[in-house]
Chain A
Amino acid sequence: MTITTSNLARGLDMEPLVKEIDQDRINLFEVSGSPSGESHADYHTDTEVAQKALGGFRAPIASGRMTVAWGVEAMAKWFGHDVAGHSARVDLRFTIPVIHGDTISVRGIITHFRESENGTSVNLEMWVDNQKNQKVAVGTASVRIP
């Protein structure tokens, strides 16, 4: 269900966006952002580097930017591509690393909205859970519905 001004409500719980985390996709994310198409070993892509850099942690961790990108995707799912593509704002603090094998859910709840001559500004609390119900990221998001 796409949220519009006609079904907008404070306290509305958004349908979670669920993703299964896979190391190949983490690696591809890192390559996709490189104009040269080159990848390099870092704690997102290489187990040894991750163990050294992250105090012996057992696996590479997904970039926090991937979590933000899932947040933007969730906003597009909830409010539509046109609205999210021109006004979405996602701001997340990363609390627990995300790794291969995790299943994460991007969740949101509408905290308030305000109508003005430029449209309706909608604010959400946004958070991301893993399969253990641990919050891996917490923050806020917003859009403006024209």
Chain B
Amino acid sequence: MAKTPKKKYDWYNNPVVEDLEEGSYDYVMTQEMVDQFGEAMEDPTPLFPTIAGKHDGPPKSNIYENEEVPGGIINARSMQECFNPPIPGKRLFVTGRITGRYIWRGFMYEVTEATCVDEDGRLIDRQSSVHRSGAEEMGKLRGDQ
């Protein structure tokens, strides 16, 4: 089956709040993914390896082409709400939406959110992020480049 071509994302004219139903996706959380996450975090009993999945990204990128943002995009803020730890071997279903978009102090901001439910209907987690333009500014913040 041919893939639907991705749409162009118009930062100024697209709806500020948008359900991304078309970009929903699913995957199986394997024991290997859990183990890798645990090793990466140095946490032998990690609760939410789903965090590394950055769930709020794909629902948008599954629909839209990568847009050119001045200075590149960087994650300015992330939120994780935990409801039930995922069970290895279960399929996870992720739906997302854009919950806001604004300009502040010259930078473009976009807020995305994703909700994850497993194959048994258990609510796993909700992830949200605020991405902003001007990634190239970030290096200046440490002062020890």
Contacts and interface: CB of A to CB of B under 8 A. Distances in A.
B142 A89 contact: no
B42 A93 contact: no
B24 to A, nearest CB: 14
Given A32-B33, A43-B135, A65-B52, A71 B40 contact: no
B46 A73 contact: yes
Interface residues of A, number: 50
B81 A89 contact: yes
A30 interface: yes
A126 B116 CA distance: 25
Contacts of A53: 72, 135-136
B25 to A, nearest CB: 9
B47 A85 contact: yes
B85 to A, nearest CB: 5
Contacts of B75: 63-65, 94
A81 B45 contact: yes
B76 A94 contact: yes
A72 B36 contact: no
Contacts, number: 148
Interface in B61-116: 72, 74-85
Contact of B141 (A30, A96, A139): A96
State the majority secondary structure of interface residues on B: mixed
Interface in A49-90: 53-58, 61, 63-73, 76, 81, 84-90
B138 to A, nearest CB: 5
A69 B140 CA distance: 25
Contact of A58 (B40, B41, B145): B145
A51 to B, nearest CB: 8
A97 interface: yes
Interface in B12-45: 27-28, 32-33, 36-37, 39-43, 45
Contacts of B129: 64
Interface of B: 27-28, 32-33, 36-37, 39-43, 45-49, 51-54, 72, 74-85, 129-130, 135-142, 145
Interface of A: 19, 25-26, 28-35, 37, 43, 53-58, 61, 63-73, 76, 81, 84-97, 99, 134, 139
